[in-house]
Amino acid sequence: MKAVIVEIRDKFAAALGEDGRVIKIKNKNYSIGQEIGLSNRSKYMKIAASAAAALILFVTPAWAYFTPYSYVSLDINPSFEFSINRFDLVLDVKALNNDGEKVVESMEVGTLKNKEIKEAVKSVLSELKDQGYIIDGKEGGVVVAASSKSSEKINELAASLKTAVEEEVSVKTEEKEITVEEKQKDIDKAEKGDLSEGPDEKKETEVKQQELEEPTAKSEELNESKENEAEKESLYSEDKDKLKGPRNEKEKNDKKQKNSNNYEKFEVEIIEVSLDEVDNAKIMGITPGKWSLIEKLQESSKSDFDEKEIEKWLEKSVSDIMKEIDKNNKEYNKEERKEYKEKKSNVKETDKELDDEKRDGKNSNKRK
């Protein structure tokens, strides 16, 4: 029989079986949400009612584990929805369009169940990268919508998912940071005048010393050695200056390397929605995240779309919708600025006319 670990207490764990019973078992380094198999003949299947009742005092009732408590949707163009319980563990994953179904078919969706939602979302994003929906250096966008029975939980989910998505679509910079660290060590050495020779340089020096000891070309070798030393000293000075460089320039490069991100053109939007909005989106067969973008698009274009127009945009990727919203907003801002300038110009002209009238009035009074 399959069971899910719902609580861990030191040496013991609570497993929720398929039949709805809570089973007390030994903790074998389990983690909450982990799915395990239990033999029907297992001694743990012989549960005393008192033991089960005592255990339930420490855990949320068994039904709570399998009851959806929050909802998360993920859109790029493939669209997905996740039902999760009050422990933020995934109960179910569904694809909401054709592209999403193709991705789900290629993934082992079962492995996402009982996983923490942030890890499940990262797994889906990783698969989308593998399938070319997220491309290194190419513009793109993702919108994640979170909803829950608790407003506090919505805030927690939104913050957690934002971090998870940004981590997954960002390139790790550990290697680059190590390079910067090594470079700093070289700079420090250069400042102290302590650039020691490496193994190859030492070997080369030993060979030269051996050659200098040969009696046949002693004077020539000595002259050559002096020239080499002078050349080496010159190169050392140049290297030292290069390594030293201006401090603030080094800091700029350091910062640039640490902040480098091949997915920097990838726009991430996390929105919080109500359960009513989730239900309305489900009726339309879309995610609340994508519907929210369509509403923003209508606002930015200052028009209400008809059904045909809505269907057209629902087929578009999140990135395309975001681009159109940005384009509309820029045009809207241009219009606003133009209107403001015209209004300001009209005000100036009116003020000028009033001033002229006042001057004319004063002049006529003087003549009288």
Q: Where is pLDDT greater, at 48 or 295?
A: 295
Q: Does 6 have pLDDT greater than 90?
A: no
| Burial class of residue 105, CB neighbours in 10 A (0-12, 13-18, 19+) | exposed
In angstroms, the CA 312 to CA 332 distance is 22
Q: Does 9 have pLDDT greater than 70?
A: yes
Q: Where is pLDDT greater, at 61 or 328?
A: 328
Q: How far is CA 114 from CA 6, 34, 89, in A?
A: 10, 6, 5
- Averaged pLDDT, 341-361: 68
pTM of the predicted protein model: 0.58
pLDDT digits (tens, 9 = 90+) for 24-71: 888 888 877 778 887 765 544 444 334 444 454 444 556 777 889 999
pLDDT digits (tens, 9 = 90+) for 211-248: 444 444 445 554 555 555 555 555 545 554 544 454 45
CA atoms within 13 A on the CB side of 298: 16
Both tokens of 186, joined, read 């070289």
Instruction: With beta carbons less than 8 A apart as the criterion, state whether 9 and 52 touch.
Output: no
Confidence of residue 148 (pLDDT cuts 50, 70, 90): very high
Q: Does 80 have pLDDT greater than 90?
A: yes
Helix H, strand E, coil C: the string for 236-305 is HHHHHHHHHCCHHHHHHHHHHHHCCCCCCCEEEEEEECCHHHHHHHHHHCCCHHHHHHHHHHHHHHCCCC
Q: What is the pLDDT of residue 44?
A: 46
